[in-house]
Amino acid sequence: MGTATAYAYGYPRCVPAWGRVQLGGELANDADVFYELACFLREKIAEYQPRWLVTEALWLPTSKGIAAPRRTFGLDAIAKLVARQHRLRIQEYAVQEVARFFIGSGGLKSNEKKRRTKAACEQIYGWKPVTLDEADAIALWVFAEAKLDPLSRRAAGPLFPAV
C-alpha cells in the first residue's frame, strides 16, 4: 500500500510551488514509505532552505484497522524528526481552522471542503492545483503565510477584502 501526499512550499509574498508525491510502490511497507518521505523532505529542505515545517494537525478517520492510523502517525513523526534534524520550527494547524480562513467555513464534509478549496485557489488566486489534496496544501500554505508572516497577507479571500 503506497501513500500519496500533496505539498506546497515557497516564500512569503511569492507564488508557492505545489505538487503531489507518491511514497512507496503498490506493495510498499511502512518502512519504505517512511524512508521515502524522509528523503523527499531532506531534498526539499536542501533546495529551499525553509525556516518552518507546517502541517495539518492529525485527524484520523474512523477505521476498523490499525494500518492507516499507524502510517498516519508514522508519517507525522518522520516529518517532524527530519524538520528537527534541520533545525526547522514546526507548526501545525487544524483542518477546520484553515478551511474557515480560506473558504469561510470549517464545518463542511471533506469532499465539499476540498472542492470549494480547489475552486478558491483557482478563482481568488488564479492557481490551478491538479488534485484536491494539492488545493488543501495550498490553503495550508496561504494560512501559514498569514499567521507566520502577517505583513505578507494576501489581499483576497473570505477574511480579506478584494483589492
Please tell me the predicted confidence (pLDDT) of residue 61.
Answer: 66
Whether 162 maps to a domain, the answer reads no
Whether 161 maps to a domain, the answer reads no
CA distances from 117 to 29, 56, 100, 133 (A): 31, 15, 10, 9
Identify the CA nearest to 130 among candidates 15, 18, 2: 18
Are 151 and 130 a contacting pair, CB within 8 Å?
Answer: no
Please tell me the predicted confidence (pLDDT) of residue 160.
Answer: 47
Please tell me the predicted confidence (pLDDT) of residue 7.
Answer: 95
Whether 158 maps to a domain, the answer reads no
Whether 160 maps to a domain, the answer reads no
Whether 75 maps to a domain, the answer reads yes
The rounded distance, in Å, linking the Cα atoms of 68 and 110 is 17
Whether 90 maps to a domain, the answer reads yes
CB within 8 Å of 111: residues ≥ 6 apart: 132
Rounded mean pLDDT for each run of 10 residues along the chain, 163 residues in total: 84 92 86 95 94 90 79 94 98 94 89 94 94 96 91 58 40
Please tell me the predicted confidence (pLDDT) of residue 163.
Answer: 37
Containing structural domain, residue 85: 3-152
Please tell me the predicted confidence (pLDDT) of residue 162.
Answer: 40
Please tell me the predicted confidence (pLDDT) of residue 16.
Answer: 94
State the CATH number of the domain containing residue 138: 3.30.420.10
Domain tally, the chain: 1
Whether 17 maps to a domain, the answer reads yes
Please tell me the predicted confidence (pLDDT) of residue 25.
Answer: 78
Whether 88 maps to a domain, the answer reads yes
Please tell me the predicted confidence (pLDDT) of residue 28.
Answer: 82
